Amino acid sequence: MLIKIYNLQNGKRIREFIYLDKALKTLKTKREPSNYHVNERPWYKKALQTSIPVRTAPYRFSNLDREGITYAKRVPGTQTVLALDYTLGSIDKMLNALKVLKTGEIYLYGEHGRLIAASGEKQSKINTILQQMLTNKEVDTVIRAEDKNATAYYLILIPLGKSMGEQSYLGISVEESEMHAPYIKTIYYALGIAFILLLIFLLLTHFLSGQIVKPVKALMAENEQIKNRNFAAVKPIETNIIEFCELSASQIRMSKSIQHYQKEMELLLDAFIILIADAIDAKSAYTGSHCKKVPVIAEMIAEEAQKSSEGIFSDFCFDTQEALETFKRAAWLHDCGKIITPEYVVDKSTKLETIYNRIHEIRTRFEVLWRDIEIAYYQKILEGEEQADASAWMQQEHNRLLDEFAFIASCNLGSEYMEEDAVVRIEQIAQQTWLRHFDDRLGLSDEELERYPDTTVPLPATAYLLEDRPEHLIPRIGFDKDAFEADGFNMEVPTYLYNRGERYNLCIKKGTLTEEERFKINEHIIMTIKMLERLPFPDTMKSIPTIAGEHHEKMDGTGYPRRKKKEEMSIPSRILAIADIFEALTASDRPYKKAKTLSEALHIMHKMKKENHIDPDLFDLFIKKKIYLTYAKLHLSEEQIDEVDETSLLDLS
């Protein structure tokens, strides 16, 4: 339909409607009066004033009775204005045709947020959000929002420029999912390719790593052999990787070097152990070659115990060569604590002996009394007594002194047991006095003077023939009872370190040692334990202090230093106890005793077995396997090797 409005000659305005077909041929014409003047329309006036297109606000088209907008533009160089009317519905359709994405919507807004046209639903939440963005002047900015169905959208406002002074805006929305769709597809595609490449890479890596890991594990296995000191088991690995071959060769060289160094250290350790044992044996003739011979006996017993499958020996063996070497070293070191035992205590052959034999002091006092008797003899004669009577008296007193000194001297030698009447006689003899004219504090060290009483006796002073004086008591310094017991030691510790009282020593009931001196000798085992526990032995040698420190324990718990019972001691410890006793009984290099024969020594040990002092199973093994005889043929004299009744020793008769 074409509408023409023009003036007639009579001044009337006519509006003519021309209807056209598709080929633009006139189908029908209709005329009617009109008062419409185009040059009075606002868009016409505005278009004449500018060279750019102008747009009206929406208004109702009278001929269509629909809302629409008009676009107008002046033809350059003329007063002619070209105008186009669009209904809002047609704009809606145009915007809908412009949609690129399925979920995309386009909105056309005026300056004040009025919606002019939309490709979609005009009353949607998206429209509300876009209008709010327009109010907030949020233009050229993409935001994310959700509609009433919680569907996410991306939104943007784009300014279109001004028409007739009014700014227009184009609002665009699209669903987030559709916006992401092409990218997600690309991402999935890329991920798929990456996954395939990764899978190929993993398979390749697995194959290649296998070629590397296999020799690495082989190297680790060889390294474990070195760690466990199985040096002979270290072998070269098979691999095509040159670096690993070189590393394996280096590992083998290192293994041999460590093995060589370890052997040198073991030789040094054993030499040092033997050095200590030799020093202890050489220290005193009273210990002889004890430290050398005990390991020999102990090794013989241990070897037979490992071979035996009877009784307690069925499960006994040294698991490794190192365990056996540890036992041997413990045997060599079993008396290392004797290095601190004073020689004059170990070598004490008489009761009055300290660093020297104090019988000489006693004899000198008898000499003084002898002369006192002679002086008294002459005094009797001067006083008028008959010479014969005085001479008889002097002879009688001299004979008494000779007899008393001989008795004292015999008591000094010690015996298996001193009778009580001998103790009483010593106390009687001791009550005799002599006159001392010299100060007994002169020529003494400060340490000796500290043991003397604070008070002094005026000279000349009366002194007893035999005395137990305060200065004879040597205090025990630095002893910590709590620490002693905390270390597990269970021994009676004498109050004094030494008691050198003359009567006290002469009255020793058995042997030559006082209680204090016997503890000092027994203390060697405590020092053995302490010395060995201070050494940083490797794990394979950790048992050395225990084995070496238990050879004086007894199966019934009456031994020392910790009063352990049989079940608390290992078989190696019990073996060492028997070896120690047998060597001590059969030793022929001790000046203080005569060497015992085999039968005598084994009879004593049999008694110790019956009293549950030594392990009966080990003693029986010692007899059955004739270990005693094998040792005797190598180390005892022919005179000591006599007939042994094994039947009685094994309690078979």
The model's pLDDT over 156-165, given as tens digits with 9 standing for 90+, comes to 888 876 655 5
Q: Residue 622 belongs to what H/E stretch? A: helix 616-624
pLDDT value, residue 163: 55
Compute the average pLDDT of residues 187-208.
84
Name the average pLDDT for the chain.
87
Residues 6+ apart with CB under 8 A from 375: none
pLDDT of 296 reads: 94
pLDDT top residue among 51 and 506: 506
Highest mean pLDDT among 330-344, 459-473, 593-607: 459-473
Distance CA 278, CA 289 (A): 8
316: DSSP letter: -
Instruction: Write out pLDDT tens, residues 142-182.
Output: 888 888 778 888 888 888 766 555 678 888 888 888 888 77
Distance CA 243, CA 237 (A): 12
Reported as a pLDDT band with limits 50, 70 and 90, residue 286 is: low
Residue 197 has pLDDT above 60, yes or no: yes
- Cα–Cα distance for residue pair 238/235, rounded to 1 Å: 10
H or E element at residue 199? helix 176-227
379 vs 281, residue with greater confidence: 379
Cβ contacts of 73 within 8 Å, gap of 6 or more: 47, 52, 53, 54, 81, 82, 83
Share of the chain above pLDDT 70, in %: 97
Return d(Cα 599, Cα 459) in angstroms, integer: 61
| Averaged pLDDT, 69-81 | 88
User: What's the CA gap between 571 and 555, in Å, rounded?
Assistant: 11
Asked whether the beta carbons of 116 and 130 are under 8 A apart, the reply is no
Instruction: List, for residues 297-327, the tens digit of each pLDDT value.
Output: 999 999 999 999 888 898 899 988 889 999 9
Q: What is the mean pLDDT of residues 260-266?
A: 88
Band the pLDDT of 285: cuts 50, 70, 90. low
pLDDT of residue 615: 94
For residue 208, pLDDT over 60 is answered with yes
Assess whether pLDDT exceeds 90 at residue 21: yes
pLDDT tier at 238 (50, 70, 90 boundaries)? confident
Distance of CA 525 to the CA centre of its chain: 31
Is 576 within 8 Å of 298 (Cβ atoms)? Answer: yes
Residues 11-32, mean pLDDT to the nearest whole number: 91
Helix (H) or strand (E) holding 171: strand 166-175
Task: Convert the pLDDT of each residue in 497-541 to its tens digit.
Answer: 999 999 999 999 988 889 999 999 899 999 999 999 999 998 889
DSSP string, 472-518: GEEE--S--HHHHHHTT---PPPSEEEE--HHHHHT-SSSS--HHHH
The amino acid that residue 345 corresponds to is V
Q: Taking a C-beta distance cutoff of 8 angstroms, is the pair 615, 566 a contact?
A: yes
Contact by Cβ (8 Å): 512, 521: no
So what's the pLDDT on residue 465? 93
On whether the CB atoms of residues 643 and 603 are closer than 8 A, the answer is no
CA 380 to each of CA 383, 385, 433, 435: distance values in angstroms, whole numbers, following the listed order = 5, 5, 20, 19
Q: Which residue has the higher pLDDT, 35 or 527?
A: 527
The separation between CA 427 and the C-alpha centre of its own chain, rounded to angstroms, equals 64
Q: What's the angle, vertex CA 97, arms to CA 96 and CA 98, rounded to 5?
A: 90
User: Do residues 311 and 617 lie in contact, with contact meaning Cβ atoms separated by under 8 Å?
Assistant: yes
DSSP letters along 331-397, please? HHTTTGGGGGS-HHHHT--STTBSSSBTHHHHHHHHHHHHHHHHHHHHHHHHTT--HHHHHHHHHHH
What is the 3-state secondary structure of 281-315? HHHCCCCCCHHHHHHHHHHHHHHHHHHCCCHHHCC
* Confidence label for 251 from pLDDT (cuts 50, 70 and 90): confident
φ, ψ of residue 3 in degrees (nearest 5): -110, 130
Q: 398-436, pLDDT tens digit by residue?
A: 999 999 999 999 999 877 688 899 999 999 999 999 999
97-134 tens-digit pLDDT? 787 778 788 888 876 777 888 887 777 778 888 888 88
pTM value > 0.75: no
How confident is the model at residue 645, as a pLDDT? 92
Show the domains of the chain with their CATH numbers.
2-87 (no CATH), 89-180 (3.30.450.20), 275-340+519-653 (1.10.3210.10), 349-512 (no CATH)
Give residue for tokens 């002679």.
374
Assess whether pLDDT exceeds 60 at residue 590: no
> What is the predicted pLDDT for the residue at 369?
93
Return the minimum-mean-pLDDT range out of 118-122, 516-520, 547-551, 638-642.
118-122
